Amino acid sequence: MMLNFPWIDFHTHRVTQSEADMKEIVSVHPGRWREAEFYTLGFHPWWTNERLSAAEVEMLTDHWKNKAGCIAIGECGLDRLKGPEMEIQEDIFAQHIKLSSELQAPLIIHCVRAFDRLIQLKRASASSNCVVHGFVRHKILAKQLLDNGILLSVAPRYSMSLVMEEKLRYVPLDRVFLETDSDYSISIKERYRIFAQLRAMKTEMLQEQLFQNTINFFHKKWPHLIG
């Protein structure tokens, strides 16, 4: 009997709540709250200009420990194109890494042109599950991240470069997630179909694999339900 696995939008910034067979994981930044069944909470480098205060760290801790819907810390990270100077960004990111490691909470990472430092910081102190969301770079960098225990979330689309297609064919199926992020022009279901076609597999098999990936990544905070 074929089980019905939900479509997982691993990283999004809106709540559609329009389809019962979809599970959206909403990225929330303090001060930009959205009500969601499942959410991740962190201080995005675009909107955070100072080291986190003790109260802000405690707020993240409280959500992780006491809110069933809070299933990861982040998104947080490094961006060489936007946000405060890199020294401040690295300090803030290090605070997120330290907290996620202490709590053994998964970490959702935003990274733009700073993958060298991301890998160094991960090697130095990160011990929890972590993923770079919105990954658009090439196969070689994908392998470097995967080799350092950093998983990838991607957003397949109709028209992709050969570099993008090569990367999507390369990424191991048990170490990848699919997302819409802030691009709602293509639904998560369509992104599944695009990716499945690229990998020459049935969409239903991809649904099952990504559902299992989601359980493995979020471990005890994800409800182990198949609907």
Which residue type occupies 137?
R
Q: How many CA atoms lie within 13 A of 27 on its CB side?
A: 22
Which residue type occupies 166?
E
Average pLDDT (177-196) is 96
Could you report the per-residue pLDDT of 128-140, keeping only the tens digit for each? 899 999 999 999 9
CB atoms under 10 Å from CB of 146, counted, come to 16
C-alpha 193/C-alpha 218 separation (Å) is 24
Q: What tokens does 146 get?
A: 């995967």
Q: Could you tell me which of 224, 223, 215, 221 has the C-alpha nearest to residue 104?
A: 221
How much is the pLDDT for 225? 46
* Residue 78 contacts residue 115 (beta carbons within 8 Å): no
* Band (194; pLDDT cuts 50, 70, 90): very high
Class of domain 7-219: alpha beta
How much is the pLDDT for 20? 80
> What's the Cα-to-Cα distance from 215 to each of 61, 135, 143, 152, rounded to whole Å?
21, 21, 23, 15
Average per-residue pLDDT in the chain? 93
Q: Is-cis flag, bond preceding 75, omega within 30?
A: yes
Q: Residue 145 pLDDT > 50, yes or no?
A: yes
Q: What tokens does 112 get?
A: 């733009």
CA angle 82, 83, 88 (to 5 degrees): 135
> Which helix H or strand E contains 9, and what residues bound it?
strand 7-12
CA angle 161, 137, 7 (to 5 degrees): 80
How much is the pLDDT for 227? 44
* Band (125; pLDDT cuts 50, 70, 90): confident
Could you report the per-residue pLDDT of 160-175, keeping only the tens digit for each? 999 999 999 999 999 9
Could you report the per-residue pLDDT of 15-39, keeping only the tens digit for each? 876 678 899 999 999 877 777 889 9
Could you report the per-residue pLDDT of 75-99, keeping only the tens digit for each? 999 999 999 999 999 999 999 999 9
Q: What tokens does 197 get?
A: 């076609």
How much is the pLDDT for 217? 96
Could you report the per-residue pLDDT of 198-226, keeping only the tens digit for each? 999 999 999 999 999 999 999 878 765 44
How much is the pLDDT for 226? 44
